[in-house]
Amino acid sequence: MLGLIVVIGVDGAAIEVTSRTQRAILALLLIHRNEVLSADRIIEEIWGDDESRPRPKSLQFHISKLRDALDPTRTSGHGGVIRTHPAGYVLEVADEQVDVANFERLVNDAGRSETVDLSEQRATLDDGLSLWRGRVLDDVPELRSAQAEAERLGELWLEAMERRIDLDLALGRHAGLVAEIEVLVQQHPLRERLWGQLVVSLYRCGRQAEALRAFQQARDQLVEELGIEPSAALRDLEVRVLQQDPSLDFVSEEAAAYPNNIPASISGFVGREQEISALKRLVAEHRLIHTSVVYSL
């Protein structure tokens, strides 16, 4: 669903659903998977007030053809993953078989991870984001439910991207972020969190003047489009850039693990490795919390 509709059979081969009407029916059943939809609702969702809207008998024909496409080897007239129910039709499919469900699960897993291993959290988000192949249900734009689902999942994708950028900043990967965030702010010019992430990325790359210019661009967009000033958090970020606030700088785990009053050469006293390991975890956790507070604008 995260792109054009693609169905993968049990043998791993792609199953082609060529009929536009049948793709729309499949999309609707996927959005409401494991939920019974009446024939009247399916017809209303897909054809609306169109005078050429089919009768339930015609819908049965489309359902049958869709079943044939999804499972050419079936022998029962009502077999396959699309089941006939006294109240209508239901697509019975496990969550792990649907890319949308897998994406949502991975995003949730990354958000509630009990570990402070930032790299692991980022890898989990990457796994979820990698499932996207384009706009949600891009080949059924006329389906109203698809439009609503695309908006919902598009917002979740954007939040996941912002979270992943937060993690990259916490891991000190700011050098590779600037170009990516610049594209995102062009596409979503009213997302203050993205603008804040761009300001910090530029600043950490030694591009203070460009960081301040990015803030001004964000302000111009908000004033022009919405007639409002940037949030207090974004304005505070501008002041901190102007003041070259040390808290904006990235501090590596190694630097934090060996403070000046504990020389790195001293390694023999009992418990040092455990203390350093605990300190690294605390530093990573603090850095991510600090990043989230600063950039959750």
Tokens describing residue 152? 């919902």
Within 8 A by CB and 6+ apart from 192, the residues are 218, 222, 230, 231, 233, 234, 297
Q: Please say whether the beta carbons of 149 and 104 come within 8 A.
A: no
Q: Please say whether the beta carbons of 244 and 208 come within 8 A.
A: yes
Residue whose C-alpha is closest to residue 196's, from 226, 239, 156: 239
Residue whose C-alpha is closest to residue 27's, from 62, 56, 53, 57: 62
Interhelix angle for 99-111 vs 118-129, to 10°?
Answer: 160
Burial class (CB in 10 A: 0-12, 13-18, 19+), 2: buried
Residue whose C-alpha is closest to residue 236's, from 184, 151, 294, 278: 294
Angle at 176 between CA 170 and CA 181, to 5 degrees: 85
Counting Cα atoms < 13 Å in the Cβ hemisphere of 131 gives 25
Looking at residue 84, what DSSP letter applies? E
C-alpha to C-alpha distances, 224 to 190, 216, 220, 228, 237, nearest whole angstrom: 10, 12, 6, 8, 21
d(CA 122, CA 171): 10
**pTM assigned to the model:** 0.80
Residue type at position 214: A
d(CA 225, CA 219): 10
Return the pLDDT at 75: 58
Q: pLDDT digit of tens for each residue in the chain (297 aa)?
A: 999 898 998 888 888 888 888 999 999 999 999 999 999 999 988 887 766 676 777 889 999 999 988 887 665 555 578 999 999 999 999 999 999 999 999 999 988 766 558 999 999 999 999 999 998 888 887 788 888 999 999 999 999 999 999 999 999 999 999 999 999 999 999 999 999 999 999 999 999 999 999 999 999 999 999 999 999 999 999 999 999 999 999 876 555 444 454 444 434 444 445 544 555 555 555 555 455 435 444
Return the pLDDT at 143: 85
DSSP state string for 216-257: HHHHHHHHHHHS-PPPHHHHHHHHHHHTT-GGGS---HHHHH
